[in-house]
């Protein structure tokens, strides 16, 4: 019997066709597979990584290929002109590794030089905001330690799309348009990022043959294709032209650093971040404070829970800002900052009835609102269970505005996070790394492991803590934990806070009565950052999440159906 659409509608109206409506708060479903998953904020980049898995590569290989493609396709947020951090879980040893590939300030760049030019604070544009990019060195370090397939196979997707073009996506396209003034700082910038004198529109095919050439050099020569030879010489020449101090030695001598990750426990889970000079310690400090309160009993995004987390953020960030810098230049009291005793002290400082507009950092041994929220985060798991949590950034949108001749990328402005105040942990100095906002994360309990991250400048640590609470306190799956409504506070002082409109009006009103100066943003606001997550459970099933605030996807690896 053939049932027509009209007949089905009539049957439905009469109640004879069962209709199920599963209530769900999330906009997207998780990607679920027994094989690998690549989750990034650009779908073609995620697919490039998945193809590497299908070609026999592991999670580390896939991360490098996806990151290279992402730098081409989301150039406002990341690229080889920026820095990189990563956490790797190696399945065969069950060990966790952490890589700090953040670059240092160039030789000759110090407080005295900038003061002699009349500067009273660190610039966020131009050559004096540039530190040595760490991404390419980070890729090589990751590949040498963990890579499975040949280095020269990893860059073919990025080269293909750079030469043949790719269609610009929606959210990335909006960020591109917002950065037009940076392109206009130089003819090279306009030539690369405004082909034909126009910003590429959504759906328009963009090509970057200069970057394809640079990728070919990296493909052939490894890190030396970037830190030595024509690319390095182009960076130094542009620096010299603009009055900067970058030397060939600053580039060739830079090395990433394998470090021990820092961690804390949160209600039976262990959560890992990168140690200083990364700001990840603030996420762990915040969780330590939150653990002192019954968030689960209060309810997800309830007035009490949001108030508590906002106040915990202020305290954790105050400590981070006071003490964190490059540990090669000053002692950072990491153990003290992560102690449960300090969390107990901070918890007692929180007034559960009203907001505090100024907090005092802990006395363990200044800066206000800072810009910079353009970063990309990606995470990958492979069929063997290896996991990579990788974050890579230009800092502010398209970075410094400095585009060396002929290389197809812009240099980041990470140096803008230094301070010119004397004798601080984060005071500018040659060959010193700045306090860094970008942070990859990883958490585990028993045989359940989650690699996750959320980009967005100073948003990141507070977003990490909210994600962990969503999973641990509220039982959210990784997709709902990632896209659930969030708050963010971009400043360090004051009672200002931004909250997405999906939080109820009643809750916002109650927070205002407590003294919070709430700014309500859109339902999926870019101010909250965008993130990804992959989880693998004890049965070996992988779950992937990609934030609805971004253009990306969690792309699964397919089995090798058709072998050559």
Q: What is the pLDDT of residues 150-169, one digit of tens each?
A: 999 999 999 999 999 999 99
Domain contains 131: yes
Domain contains 560: no
pLDDT band at residue 7 using 50, 70 and 90 as cut-offs: very low
pLDDT tens-digit series, residues 435-474: 998 899 999 999 999 999 998 888 999 999 999 999 999 9
- Looking at residues 298-325, what average pLDDT do you find? 96
Domain contains 229: yes
Contact status, residue 39 vs residue 378, Cβ threshold 8 Å: yes
pLDDT tens-digit series, residues 91-139: 999 999 999 999 999 999 999 999 999 999 999 999 999 999 999 999 9
Domain contains 268: no
3-class secondary structure, 509: helix
Domain contains 207: yes
- Looking at residues 420-437, what average pLDDT do you find? 93
Dist. CA 43–CA 555, nearest whole Å: 8
> Has residue 372 got a pLDDT over 70?
no
- Looking at residues 265-288, what average pLDDT do you find? 97
Domain contains 206: yes
Residues of the domain holding 151 = 36-81+106-258+374-381+395-417
Strands 496-500 and 517-521, how do they pair?
parallel
pLDDT tens-digit series, residues 484-534: 999 999 888 899 999 999 999 999 999 999 999 999 999 999 899 999 999
> Has residue 257 got a pLDDT over 70?
yes
Kindly tell me the burial class for residue 118, based on how many C-beta atoms sit within 10 Å of its own C-beta (0-12, 13-18, 19 or more). exposed
Domain contains 136: yes
Q: Is the peptide bond before 282 cis (omega within 30 degrees of 0)?
A: no
Residue 6: in which H helix or E strand, if any?
Answer: helix 5-13
| Dihedral (Cα; 72, 78, 84, 89), 10-degree rounding | -70
Contact status, residue 389 vs residue 379, Cβ threshold 8 Å: yes
Question: Mind telling me the catalytic residues?
Answer: 375
Domain contains 134: yes
> What is 230-294 written as a DSSP string?
HHHHHHHHHHHHTT----HHHHHT---EEEPPEEEEETTEEEEEPPTTBTHHHHHHHHHHHTTS-
Dist. CA 46–CA 454, nearest whole Å: 16
3-state helix, strand and coil shares in percent for the chain, rounded to the nearest 5: 40, 20, 45
From residue 6, alpha-carbon distances to 12, 20, 85 in Å are 10, 19, 57
Q: How many domains does the chain have?
A: 1
For residue 538, the model assigns a pLDDT of 94
From residue 132, alpha-carbon distances to 77, 80, 104, 286, 394 in Å are 17, 10, 6, 31, 12
pLDDT tens-digit series, residues 192-231: 999 999 999 999 999 999 999 999 999 999 999 999 999 9
* Cα–Cα nearest to 372, from 458, 454, 486: 458
- b or e along 191-226 (b: 16 or more beta carbons within 10 Å of the residue's beta carbon)? bbbebeeebbeeeeebbbebbbbbbbbbbebbbbbb
From its phi and psi, is residue 487 left (phi > 0), alpha (psi between -120 and 50) or beta? beta
Contact status, residue 492 vs residue 318, Cβ threshold 8 Å: yes
């Amino acid at each position: 019997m053939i049932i027509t659409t009209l007949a089905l509608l009539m049957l439905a109206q009469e109640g004879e066709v069962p209709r199920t409506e599963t209530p769900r708060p999330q906009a997207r479903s998780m990607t679920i597979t027994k094989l690998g998953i690549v989750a990034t904020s650009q779908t073609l980049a995620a697919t490039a990584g998945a193809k590497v898995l299908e070609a026999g590569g592991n999670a580390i290989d896939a991360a490098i290929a996806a990151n290279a493609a992402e730098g081409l396709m989301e150039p406002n947020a990341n690229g080889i002109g920026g820095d990189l951090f990563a956490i790797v879980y190696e399945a065969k040893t069950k060990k966790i590794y952490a890589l700090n590939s953040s670059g240092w300030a160039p030789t000759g760049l110090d407080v005295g030089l900038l003061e002699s030019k009349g500067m009273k604070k660190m610039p966020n544009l131009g050559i004096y905001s540039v530190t040595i990019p760490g991404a390419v060195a980070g890729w090589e370090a990751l590949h040498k330690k963990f890579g499975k397939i040949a280095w020269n196979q990893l860059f073919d997707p990025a080269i293909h799309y750079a030469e043949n073009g790719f269609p610009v996506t929606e959210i990335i396209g909006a960020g591109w348009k917002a950065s037009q003034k940076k392109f206009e700082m130089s003819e090279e910038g306009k030539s690369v990022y405004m082909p034909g004198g126009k910003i590429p529109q959504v759906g328009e095919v963009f090509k970057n043959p200069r970057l394809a050439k640079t990728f070919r050099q990296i493909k052939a020569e490894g890190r030396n294709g970037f830190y030595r030879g024509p690319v390095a010489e182009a960076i130094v020449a542009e620096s010299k032209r603009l009055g900067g101090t970058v030397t060939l030695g600053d580039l060739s001598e830079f090395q990433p650093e394998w470090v021990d990750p820092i961690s804390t426990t949160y209600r039976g889970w262990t959560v890992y971040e990168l140690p200083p000079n990364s700001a990840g310690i603030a996420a762990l400090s915040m969780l330590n404070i939150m653990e002192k309160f019954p968030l689960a009993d209060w309810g997800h995004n309830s007035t009490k829970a949001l108030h508590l987390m906002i106040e915990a953020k202020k305290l954790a960030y105050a400590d981070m800002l006071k003490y964190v810098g490059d540990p090669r230049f000053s002692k950072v009291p990491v153990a003290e900052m992560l102690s449960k005793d300090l969390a107990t002290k901070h918890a007692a400082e929180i007034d559960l009835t009203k907001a505090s507009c100024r907090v005092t950092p802990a006395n363990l041994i200044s800066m206000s609102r800072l810009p910079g929220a353009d970063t990309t985060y990606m995470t990958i798991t492979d069929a063997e269970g290896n996991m990579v949590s990788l974050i890579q950034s230009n800092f502010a949108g398209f970075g410094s505005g400095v585009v060396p001749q002929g290389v197809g990328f812009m240099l980041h402005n990470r140096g803008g996070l230094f301070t010119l105040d004397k004798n601080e942990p984060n005071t500018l100095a040659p060959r010193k790394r700045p306090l860094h906002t970008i942070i990859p994360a990883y958490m585990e309990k028993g045989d359940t492991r989650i690699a996750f991250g959320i980009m967005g400048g100073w948003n990141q640590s507070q977003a990490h803590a909210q994600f962990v609470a969503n999973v641990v306190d509220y039982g959210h799956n990784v997709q709902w934990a990632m896209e659930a409504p969030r708050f963010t506070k971009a400043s360090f002082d004051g009672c200002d806070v931004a909250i997405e409109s999906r939080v109820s009006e009643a809750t916002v009103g109650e927070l205002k009565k407590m003294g919070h100066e709430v700014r309500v943003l859109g339902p999926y606001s870019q101010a909250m950052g965008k993130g990804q997550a992959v989880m693998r459970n004890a049965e070996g099933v992988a779950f992937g999440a990609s934030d609805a605030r971004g253009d990306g996807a969690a792309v699964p690896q397919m089995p090798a159906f058709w072998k050559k």
